[in-house]
């Protein structure tokens, strides 16, 4: 069994050195990212993206993640383009909690696109918005390779599989980084099994506050190879076995309790893959 270790350049968590001044321009754009994740997004584009490859932001919401990525590129002097995907719709509860609570003026309807365009206007020259279902839009090969892939759209097992098939074949071996924003969330317990299936193609790099986990692409999978590597086909026992395998591989990273909570979630919700229908497992125990 492979045991994962954090590469030296990521072990020091260099994104922590990003200052409030670096992010000040982006603070006008509401986001559900906590501050360390905001720093990570900015640091990744300022320091790890350059030359070949685009940035892809899957699940842009009102543009919070996209703005942090765009500011990092701007401060790096990079001409790299960001492709931001979302339905760009919003429900009343999310409006109240995630927009109005952060200073956005109330508005009618569920169309989020005008607000996102307005908020992202300072970086509009480097952002391409893709509106609709990610699975329907896909990736145009004319946009080139993908250097950085930010994943906040794997809310279902089948979406995880289709996202992989759509975007992973366009990564760059030895360069591209992907970030699973919800990798350690109990109600998306299929993400560790998914990345276990991808073990031949990705090297773990680091994680942020037990949520985001980054990987570097070491070998680009083909569409044909990905066909047989799907989490939608895994039953509960296979999910649990895969999570236990990942817990062993990540021993020493301080994530063991998160993996155990995922297993509990599966046991409490047999056969369920809709996170909004799941019973919540007990709070985390200490690792």
Query: For residue 286, what pLDDT is reported?
Result: 58
Burial of 174 (0-12, 13-18, 19+ CB in 10 A): exposed
Query: For residue 1, what pLDDT is reported?
Result: 62
Query: For residue 272, what pLDDT is reported?
Result: 96
Q: How many CA atoms lie within 13 A of 243 on its CB side?
A: 28
| Domain residue ranges of the chain, discontinuous segments joined by + | 8-232
Q: How many CA atoms lie within 13 A of 44 on its CB side?
A: 35
Compute CA distances 74 → 28, 39, 178, whole Å.
16, 15, 20
Instruction: List, for residues 158-199, the tens digit of each pLDDT value.
Output: 999 999 999 999 999 999 999 999 999 999 999 999 999 999
| pTM to 2 decimal places | 0.95
Query: For residue 196, what pLDDT is reported?
Result: 98
Query: For residue 50, what pLDDT is reported?
Result: 72
Backbone angles phi, psi at 216, to 5 degrees: -105, 135
Query: For residue 187, what pLDDT is reported?
Result: 96
User: Which CATH class for the 8-232 domain?
Assistant: alpha beta
Low-confidence ranges of the chain (pLDDT < 50): 287
């Amino acid at each position: 069994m492979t045991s994962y270790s954090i590469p030296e350049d990521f072990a020091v968590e260099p994104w922590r050195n990003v200052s409030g001044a670096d992010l000040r321009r982006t603070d006008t754009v509401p986001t559900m990212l906590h501050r360390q994740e905001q720093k990570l997004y900015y640091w990744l584009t300022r320091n790890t993206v350059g030359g070949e490859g685009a940035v892809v932001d899957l699940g842009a919401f009102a543009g919070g993640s996209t703005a942090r990525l765009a500011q990092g590129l701007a401060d790096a002097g990079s001409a790299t383009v960001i492709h931001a995907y979302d339905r760009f719709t919003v429900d009343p509860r999310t409006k109240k909690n995630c927009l109005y609570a952060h200073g956005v003026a109330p508005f009618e309807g569920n169309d989020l696109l005008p607000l996102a365009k307005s908020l992202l206007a300072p970086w509009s020259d480097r952002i391409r918005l893709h509106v609709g279902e990610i699975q329907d839009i896909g990736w145009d090969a004319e946009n080139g390779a993908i250097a950085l892939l930010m994943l906040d759209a794997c809310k279902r097992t089948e979406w995880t599989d289709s996202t992989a098939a759509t975007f992973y074949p366009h990564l760059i071996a030895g360069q591209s980084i992907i970030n699973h924003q919800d990798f350690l969330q109990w109600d998306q317990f299929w993400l560790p099994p998914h990345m276990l299936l991808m073990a031949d193609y990705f090297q773990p790099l680091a994680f942020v506050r037990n949520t985001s986990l980054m990987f570097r692409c070491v070998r680009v999978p083909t569409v044909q190879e990905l066909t047989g590597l799907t989490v939608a086909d895994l039953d509960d026992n296979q999910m649990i076995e895969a999570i236990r395998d990942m817990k062993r591989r990540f021993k020493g990273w301080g994530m063991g309790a998160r993996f155990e909570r995922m297993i509990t979630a599966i046991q409490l919700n047999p056969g369920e893959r809709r996170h909004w229908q799941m019973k919540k497992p007990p709070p985390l125990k200490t690792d």
